[in-house]
Amino acid sequence: MVTASEGAAMGSATANENWSSRFAFIMAAVGSAVGLGNLVRFPAEVGANGGGAFVIFYIFCVVLIGAPVLLSETLIGRHGQSSAVGSVKKVARESGASEWWAVAAGVGMLGAFLILTYYSVLAGWIVYFIGVFTGDLVSNIASGSLLAGALDGQSVEEVQGILPALQADAGTMLTMHAIFMAVTIFVVARGVHGGIEKVAVWLMPTFFVLILGITIYGAFTGAFGAALEFLFNFDASRLLDPTVQLSALGQALFSLSLGSALMITYGAYASRDTDLAKSSGLIASADTSVAIVAGLAIFPIVFAAMAPDALAGVLAGDVPVEGGLGLLFISLPVAFQTMPAGSIIGFLFFIMVFFAALTSAVALLEASVSWAIRRFNVSRVIATIVLGLTVFAIGAWASFSFNSQADFQPLDFMIFSGQPVFGIIDELTAKILLPVSALLVSIFVGWIADQRLIDSENGLDGGLHKFWRFLVRWLCPIVITAILITGIFPGLVGI
């Protein structure tokens, strides 16, 4: 139950913490969803799983699974007008259901908190690479060779070794981690309107301009045709491949930040006149568009730097493309060496990635800060600093997975087998906590919550409302359960 002090804190905390406009809400929500997964994981997944077949199935999943759960989470938040946990409790009370359903939000909030512990470490790498390309850009300006490739005078092996050298340098990596967390803490401590919203409203439009600009640059100077073939070559047989289907389902769910309590938290700051159905559609569309455009921005640059034989092997499916963090921190810096104005493009690219990482990190921290403010009746500044420092401490421990504790594997069973601390947190959050939270939310909204209350919040009517209810009640729980089971027991589908 909510105590009197918690209730007072809820009222005071929410009274002045609202988005100033629907645009601000959408930018903040899109910022929370768009992150490293959109920029590096999605393009690699597309190339590895049938190109256009994966994209079609992914869009199908976003429409039928992602958007319905997204709307479910935001409507809980707006009706509850509290933290994610407090909002679910309020909806449960008014529905005559047990407040224990707040576990759905609590699990997601824990997942978001743990994700930030290692996400900040990765974002620290971005800060470091911004420094690398800033120095390179200044050097090129001083020498009058602004249009030259990046990192001139360094061998390919030296450029490829930048990240491994950083990982081996515990002190520098912790410093970068600390810088990023300090910026995140500063933004969240300034509040919803004074910090989170301002960052989203300014950084996300700038991010869109940068990613479109880099895409246009790649279209004129890179191997754009090869990238189109790689990303959208349609292999119809892959549509029936369960590995491809589950990859698309998982990407659709997690790229929208679902199951992490972020959308419930941000939904609590939405005004009553915000059309949640339309807003959810715009958020899902923007997130999907960024993921697709990211492939068109990255792969033309990477492919242009490849030898013809190697590129032919990639397009034929005989040679795998390095995805994920290797693509971002190893393949791209090498590619920028061979591109005209590579130092400028490299600098702008990592600035763009930093913007995406920061808006995501702010949302990840805000989910737990919003809860702590109300649960312990403390100021936003105190809650942000305490939780932010805790994130930093856990992240610092996880960062040792790359050097001094690389062989420390404390949980040697199931999906955690052979994983260092960094990998354990990643597996726990992505494959257990987030799917469990998303599953409980869909069941809660579809079956437990008072349907009159839900109907008054979702902004849908007629056949579209009935279709959404069917999806939330039946399809979403079934599909998310499949993601959860196969994530924990990957051998069931041979992945």
Token pair recorded at residue 224 = 């754009």
Q: Are 491 and 310 in contact (CB under 8 A)?
A: no
- Distances from the Cα of 369 to the Cαs of 8, 26, 261, 473, in angstroms? 17, 20, 12, 31
How confident is the prediction for the chain on average, in pLDDT?
Answer: 89
Q: Is the pLDDT of residue 360 over 80?
A: yes
Quote the pLDDT of residue 445: 97
Give residues with Cβ within 8 angstroms of 138, minimum separation 6.
none
Quote the pLDDT of residue 404: 64
We report the CATH number of the domain holding residue 114 as 1.10.4160
Ramachandran category for residue 295: left, alpha or beta (phi over 0 → left; psi -120 to 50 → alpha): alpha
Separation CA 473–CA 440 (nearest Å) = 11
Residues of the domain holding 88? 4-492
Tell me the sheet residues that pair with 234.
51
State how many domains the chain has: 1
Region 255-259: what's the mean pLDDT?
Answer: 89
Separation CA 1–CA 232 (nearest Å) = 52
Can you tell me whether residue 316 is helix, strand or coil?
coil
- Predicted confidence band of residue 12 (pLDDT cuts 50, 70, 90): very low
**170 burial class (0-12, 13-18, 19+ CB within 10 angstroms)?**
middle
Whole-structure pTM value:
0.93
Token pair recorded at residue 172 = 């520098």
Q: Residues 115-139: pLDDT tens digits?
A: 999 999 999 999 999 999 999 999 9
Of 5-9, 101-105, 142-146, 373-377, the poorest mean pLDDT is in 5-9
Q: Are 417 and 94 in contact (CB under 8 A)?
A: no
Q: Residues 305-317: pLDDT tens digits?
A: 888 988 888 887 7
Q: Are 56 and 236 in contact (CB under 8 A)?
A: no
Q: What phi and psi values does residue 395 have, to the nearest 5 degrees?
A: -65, -35
Q: Which DSSP category does 413 fall into?
A: S
